[in-house]
Amino acid sequence: MLFFKKYGTILIKLLLYNIVLSTGIVAILLFSNNSTGFSMLTILVLLVCIILSNLLFTFFLLKSQTRSMNQILQSFNDITSEKNLLNGEELESSDIPEIKHWAKGFLTNINTIVKEKNELVVELLESKKLLEHYSNNLEEIVEQRTEILKWLAITDPLTGLYNRRYFMEQLEQEFKRSRRYERDLSLLMIDIDFFKRINDTFGHQTGDLVLRKISSIVESQLRDADLAFRFGGEEFMVILPETSLQDVSNVAERMRTEIMHSYYHHDESEFNVTVSIGIISVKCNQVESIDSLIRKVDDNLYMAKKSGRNQIVAS
């Protein structure tokens, strides 16, 4: 039907053209009748034949074109009747199974990729937590190691007292504070009497035991603000901030007495040791530097030893 609607006018014109052409041929034959000798019946038969041939030609043309158009329309209907996969509709062509298989594989790959992505995200989050945990632990370890190294840098490994380098730093700070605020500062220097004889008689291990014991006694007599140091060999220093000469003398006497009454054993031998102590108070002396302070307290220690040892000399 679509073919007749679209091409009907052209076919009618073609038919009329053939009729006119046939009529013209008949007219020419009629005009030339006298010369050809055709009868009227012959001409009419010829005209009918021409018309019939035109009708047959048109019929076969219409039939052929109609078949072609029907094929085209059928193909078009097949195409338009197929449903779009993207809209979730089902196709009817032979390609549908292949397309469905491809779509199924594609969705499977997408789901696999999404699953792998989610697993990777979970692994990354777990790795992040693990790294944060290790990082925190590492920071704690570093802080602990730093504190240990700092402690080792300022501590005498044998006695556990602060070492000479830290003594110089602390003495300078306390000396400056004493002069700035006009507060007293006392310094105490201790030396073990005849310590070389102890090492030679009982050995260095026994000498180390004596050093540790005396260090413990010295620390036991101090306040929290006081600081004790191993100055070198058998010598010790004690810084006593805001301590008068009388108070530091009392502390020194308690130390001397307890050390003197402490006994040590080596094999079957028993012995004790004594100490000489020098004391200096900043307020009682004209001291301009820490070097001068150390020199004066060392002079007092020398006087204590010269006086017979196991003595205290203060100034």
Q: Which residues are catalytic?
A: 234
DSSP state of 226: -
Q: What is the residue whose two structure tokens read 């100490």?
A: 275
Contact indicator for 151, 162 with CB cutoff of 8 Å: no
CA distance 162 to 151: 9
Q: Using alpha carbons only, give the angle 162, 226, 290 rounded to the nearest 5 degrees.
A: 75
Cβ neighbour number for residue 309 with a 10 Å cutoff:
14
Q: What is the residue whose two structure tokens read 């005209």?
A: 47
Burial 185-223 (b: 16+ CB within 10 A, else e): bbbbbbbbbebeebbeebeeebbebbbebbbebbbebbe
Cβ neighbour number for residue 231 with a 10 Å cutoff:
22
CA distance 46 to 55: 14
Q: Using alpha carbons only, give the angle 303, 304, 307 rounded to the nearest 5 degrees.
A: 85
Contact indicator for 7, 65 with CB cutoff of 8 Å: yes
